Amino acid sequence: MTKSAATQHMSQIQSHLQVAPCAAQEESRIKTPIESMAEEREKATFNVRELTYYLDGGEKFTKVREKFMMELERDPTFRMYDMYDVTKDQIRERTMEKFRTIVHYVSAEPVPIFTLRMQTISLIDPGFWTRFGVHYGLFFGALRGSATSAQFSHWVSKGALALNGMVGCFAMTELGHGSNVAGLETTATFDETSDQFIIHTPTITATKWWIGGAAHTATHCVVFAQLIVRGKRYGTKSFVVQLRDTHTYGLMPGVNIGDIGKKMGRDGIDNGWIQFTNVRIPRTNMLMKHTKVSRAGEVKEPPMAQLTYGALIQGRVAMVVDSGNIAKKAITIAGRYAAVRRQFTSNPHDVQETKLIDYAIHQYRLMPLLAQAYAFHFTGVETNKLYEDLMDQLESTQPDDPTMNQVLDTLKETHATSAGLKAFCTWGTLNAIEACRQSLGGHGYSAYTGLATTYNDFAVHCTWEGDNTILTLQLGRYLVNCYREVITGKTQPDGVSYLNHLDTLLNQGCAVKTNEEILDFDIIQQAWGVVSANVVKKAGEDFDACLKQGLSPEAAYEECSQARLAAAKIHSFGYVFRRFTQAVRNAPEGLRPILTKVCLLYGLYSIEQNAGFFLQYRYFTPSQMDYVRAQVNAFCRAVRQEYIPLIDAFNYSDYMINSPLGVYDGNVYEKYFDQVKRQNPVGQPHPYLPLIQSLLRRDIEDDEPLEDDDDDDE
């Protein structure tokens, strides 16, 4: 190399080296995931802590929740870091350990505080929540709802409340029947001579199936069976049957039990099947708050069958609350990840890739789900209040009180509304979990990022305690009846009060002329009122037309079931929006601007998703629907600005979220990698070496070398 060539070469190298400081400078402008998350928090225009207090019902409750989160996180039996890798049998054993820890608090804490503890647990370990809920919610709930006060005291004295000396389960469903409770086949035949009932499984389809806690845990069971006295059938009633000896855990004579095995989720609960072969129980084990059977075999039916509805409402309300809580968890994971995950650059001059959340379509995927989580949260709070007020009224009203009819109307309304909301909110949240999972891309498919398991655990809410389709149809049937009452002049209660204004609502159109005018709670509420009134009227008219054609009421309801389903769905959208607007109006002043944005997004997005109804009933013109669309986009952008503070306000600790992609500080890659590395201990032998060796080292008979095929190149 000549001297000048060498100099040129050196200067080339230097110029290359000079790039390094530039790249370093550029790199210093590249934000780490932690910085990317921190900058989102700076955008808050409201006090996040104040919003947490408002969501929790006050500072006092936030502190209680935080105490629970800390206690659970420090409790080794509630360790969650390896939950995605344990087997069904290990989960079940751990669930039992947790049982022992939690039982202590049952007697130590007042019911509302214990309920909060259980709500916190339901977010961390839904399987355990269910196993515990089977005893307290279903078994004990059935005793409270269906036992006379003397019977109730008897079972409490036997340990039903303290969970001492007995563990309960609840056996309604059979292999052949679930939703159709009247069709259950198990029999309870009264034997006058011995003053006993004989509980019997007459066919294979009468085998009790899916019974939570039956496989290994329960000693006692509330069994639903057909009451037969002196050869006459009186329908399905409930009976307490002992399944196992409480010391040896051996099965009682005539009881046969098995495990129904691995499920889609919630493996912590031991669902089982039960067969009874002429099992004898004392007559007084029939729960007789409503129907009574005397020593002489006289059957007394309850004067007001509707009063039995109350027992069903509690579980449905709990699922509405759980829908809000789980929706908040899912959006916390997807939302936080979207603030730090970067792909491509949306602007060629950007030195750093764009955050997912800065893509308009990602905002459109996630911001309505965040709004829905808020909507479901407030609906849960409000529905819980309605339920408690109703229970107070029921307890303080006697059958001959003049206010009894009004209380019964409220009971019917709450029963129907809670059925519809249970379906509406669990469906909404299940879809939201899956949408959140997909928004994580490939990592959403990893068990460690949490949403796949959350989906599997949550899905059962759409089926148990009333299949969603059937519950929605029940609400539809109630709405048809309300419509028919309104046209005969009867005023309807609060939840369906829009039907009292049918004449004005049915043909009402919207008068707004600009994008801005549509941003009004009253307009959106009226929009839902108008379409709800129309779809309910349509279902009512379809039903009446069927009756006129000579169909029986049952056949007529069946014939108009699609119209009933649509009516219930639209009614529930309007109901949830009303609950949300109420919560915004009641919020502290400093929170109202941000909550108003979220609420408007929820209302407008729901309208956009159901545009067909609003156009069909001419509340909105096509151009007004364009205003709605434009504002949905605008509000996705607006809510995006503060969406991380809105998520932070849910106040779920990293332990509760249990997903490295949803961590508070945004350090997702390191946390995720750490979690995965824990599953790769160093120095372990290959798990299936002989198999893989035998695959790669097979004897190949024709071991001729491959011929050269360069000929083609010549």
Ligand X SMILES: Cc1cc2nc3c(=O)[nH]c(=O)nc-3n(C[C@H](O)[C@H](O)[C@H](O)COP(=O)(O)OP(=O)(O)OC[C@H]3O[C@@H](n4cnc5c(N)ncnc54)[C@H](O)[C@@H]3O)c2cc1C
- Which residues define the annotated binding site? 173, 212
Residues 6 or more apart in contact with residue 396 via CB below 8 angstroms = none
In whole angstroms, the minimum distance from the beta carbon of 317 to ligand X comes to 17
Q: Is 37 in the site for ligand X (CB under 6 A)?
A: no
Buried b (16+ CB within 10 A) or exposed e, 217-226: bbbbbbbbbb
The yes or no reply on residue 222 touching ligand X (CB under 6 A) is no
Query: What element of type H or E holds 255?
Result: strand 255-259
**Whose CA is closest to 213, among 250, 170, 242, 174?**
170
- Interface residue with ligand X, options 107, 179, 406, 562 (CB under 6 A): 179
From candidates 64, 134, 340, 440, binder to ligand X by CB under 6 A: 134
Examine residue 205 and tell whether it contacts ligand X (CB under 6 A). Answer: no
CB nearer to ligand X: pick between 183 and 590: 183
Cβ–Cβ contacts within 10 Å for residue 322, how many? 23
Query: Between the CA of residue 565 and those of 335, 556, 560, what are the distances in Å?
Result: 32, 14, 9
173 near ligand X, rule: CB under 6 A: yes
For the segment 494-513, give every residue that binds ligand X (CB under 6 A). Answer: none
Which of 178, 662 has the CB closer to ligand X?
178
Burial grade of 20 (CB within 10 A; 0-12, 13-18, 19 or more): exposed
Among 211, 287, 333, 499, binds ligand X (CB under 6 A): 211
Question: Could you tell me which residues come within 8 angstroms of residue 522 by beta carbon, excluding any fewer than 6 positions away?
Answer: none
Rg of the Cα atoms in the chain:
31
From 40, 185, 465, 642, the catalytic residue = 465
User: Measured at CB, which residue is nearest to ligand X?
Assistant: 178
519 binds ligand X (CB under 6 A): no
Question: Would you say 266 or 578 has its CB closer to ligand X?
Answer: 266
Residue range at the interface with ligand X (CB under 6 A); choices 165-173, 512-520, 624-632, 705-713: 165-173
Q: Interface with ligand X includes 667 (CB under 6 A)?
A: no
* Residue placing its CB nearer to ligand X in the complex, 147 or 171: 171
Separation between Cα atoms, residue 281 and residue 241, nearest integer Å: 7
The only residue of 51, 281, 460, 482 in contact with ligand X, by rule CB under 6 A: 460
Q: Is 654 an interacting residue with respect to ligand X (CB under 6 A)?
A: no
The question of whether 465 is a catalytic residue gets the answer: yes
Q: Is 353 exposed, middle or buried (0-12, 13-18, 19+ CB in 10 A)?
A: middle
Q: Which is nearer to ligand X, 212 or 662 (CB)?
A: 212
Which one of 70, 305, 470, 506 is in contact with ligand X (CB under 6 A)? Answer: 470
Which CB atom, from 172 or from 436, has the smaller least distance to ligand X? Answer: 172
Closest to 481 in 3D by CA, of 560, 427, 424: 560
Binding-residue pattern over the window 271 to 290 for ligand X, x denoting contact by CB under 6 A = x-------------------
Does 456 participate in binding ligand X (rule CB under 6 A)?
no
Nearer CB in complex with ligand X: 184/533? 184
Please state, in angstroms and rounded to a whole number, the distance separating the CA atoms of residues 136 and 686.
46
* Residue 33 or 178 with smaller CB distance to ligand X: 178
Task: Work out how close the CB of 144 gets to ligand X at its nearest, in angstroms, rounded to a whole number.
Answer: 17
Residue 472 Cβ vs ligand X, minimum distance, rounded to whole Å:
9
Considering beta carbons, is residue 173 or 275 the nearer one to ligand X? 173
User: What residues form DSSP beta bridges with 222?
Assistant: 170, 240
**Shortest gap between Cβ of 138 and ligand X (angstroms)?**
6
Contact 169, 212 (CB under 8 A): yes
User: Dihedral of the CA atoms 358, 359, 361, 364 (nearest 10)?
Assistant: 0
Q: Is residue 99 a contact partner of residue 278, using CB atoms and an 8 Å limit?
A: no
- Binder to ligand X among 91, 171, 330, 531 (CB under 6 A)? 171
Residue with Cβ nearer ligand X (224 or 387) = 224
String of contacts with ligand X for each residue 240-269, x by CB under 6 A: -----------------------x--x---
Dump the DSSP string for 466-532: S-HHHHHHHHHHHHHHHHHHHTTTPPP-GGGGGGGGHHHHHT------STGGG--HHHHHHHHHHHH
Host H or E run for residue 273: strand 272-276
Q: Is 170 in the site for ligand X (CB under 6 A)?
A: yes
Asked whether the beta carbons of 373 and 327 are under 8 A apart, the reply is yes
**Sequence-separated (6 or more) residues with CB below 8 Å from residue 315:** 137, 138, 141, 465
Which of 467, 485, 608, 654 contacts ligand X by CB under 6 A?
467
Contact by Cβ (8 Å): 331, 602: no
User: Binder to ligand X among 464, 655, 664, 669 (CB under 6 A)?
Assistant: 464
Phi first, then psi: give them for residue 350, nearest 5 degrees. Answer: -70, 140
Tell the smallest beta-carbon distance from residue 252 to ligand X (Å): 19
**Dist CA 30 CA 216 (whole Å):** 56
Q: Which residue has the tokens 């005018």?
A: 517
The yes or no reply on residue 212 touching ligand X (CB under 6 A) is yes
- How many CB atoms neighbour CB 232 within 10 A? 9
Candidates 373, 344, 369, 372; CA nearest to 438 is: 369
Nearest distance in Å: CB 236, ligand X: 12
Q: Which stretch binds ligand X (CB under 6 A): 284-292, 463-471, 657-665, 677-685?
A: 463-471
Q: Tell me which residues in 600-629 interact with ligand X (CB under 6 A).
A: none
Instruction: Say whether residue 475 binds ligand X (CB under 6 A).
Output: no
What is the size of the binding site for ligand X (CB under 6 A)? 21
Closest approach of ligand X to the CB of residue 178, in Å:
2
Q: Binding site for FAD: residue ranges?
A: 173, 212
Specify burial of residue 614 (Cβ count, 10 A radius: 0-12, 13-18, 19+). Answer: buried
When binding is defined by CB under 6 A, the residue of 141, 145, 178, 324 that contacts ligand X is 178
Q: Does 469 bind ligand X (CB under 6 A)?
A: yes
* DSSP strands (E only) in 77-147: none
Question: What is the spatial distance between Cα 210 and Cα 464, in angstroms, rounded to a whole number?
Answer: 10
Could you say which of 463, 525, 582, 641 contacts ligand X (CB under 6 A)? Answer: 463
* 210 counts as binding ligand X under rule CB under 6 A: yes
Part in contact with ligand X (CB under 6 A); list of ranges 38-46, 143-151, 169-177, 403-411: 169-177
Minimal distance, residue 185 CB to ligand X, in Å: 13
User: Which residues here bind ligand X, judged by CB under 6 A?
Assistant: 134, 170-173, 177-179, 210-212, 263, 266, 271, 460, 463-465, 467, 469-470
Active site residues: 465
